[in-house]
Amino acid sequence: MKNKQKRKSWIILLILLLLMEVCVFPLTASIGEAQLTQNQPPTVTIIKPEEKSMYLRDIRFFPAFRTLIFGYITIKANTTDDLGIKQVEFYVDGVLRNVNTKVHSCGSFMWTWNECVWFQSRHTIKVIAMDNESLVAEDTCEVVIHNFPLLHLLYP
């Protein structure tokens, strides 16, 4: 009789342990995982102008030894973030030129740089993306741009 009671006690104990393993421990593991997730910073990539390409009035013609632009250029940037993008800022040589809060229908953030550039032709374009939690990421590209008044007459 004592053996049967011991056997029943062990079986009940094993069943309780299995129930705890199946029901209780997965819940505590998922709670711990939820507490560990953090907002990741966004990513941003300048996709236009492409590095080492030549552009004439916003159209890429062929590869070049550096990024050369004649006329205006539309700067395009792709961004990703797990919580969404709040805004994208476009800079030229460290000076804020445009703030964009809405993604274009093509899926990129864009700004058209269209001003006369005469003698100082080397410039740094920087794009900063900020997510909804104010985390930021940036990408830069070096360009040589020549935008003469004569080219302005040719703009559509």
Look at strands 136-146 and 85-92 and give their pairing: unpaired
| From the candidate CATH numbers 2.60.40.10, 2.40.30.170, 3.30.70.890, 3.30.390.50, the one assigned to the domain spanning 43-152 | 2.60.40.10
Distance separating alpha carbons of residues 5 and 121, to the nearest angstrom: 92
More confident residue, 155 or 139: 139
Answer yes or no: pTM beyond 0.85.
no
pLDDT of 9 strictly over 60 = yes
Distance separating alpha carbons of residues 90 and 110, to the nearest angstrom: 9
pLDDT confidence band for 49 (50 / 70 / 90)? very high
Distance separating alpha carbons of residues 150 and 48, to the nearest angstrom: 24
pLDDT of 24 strictly over 90 = no
pLDDT of 111 strictly over 90 = yes
pLDDT of 86 strictly over 90 = yes
Domain extents for the chain?
A: 1-37, 43-152
Contact 144, 121 (CB under 8 A): yes
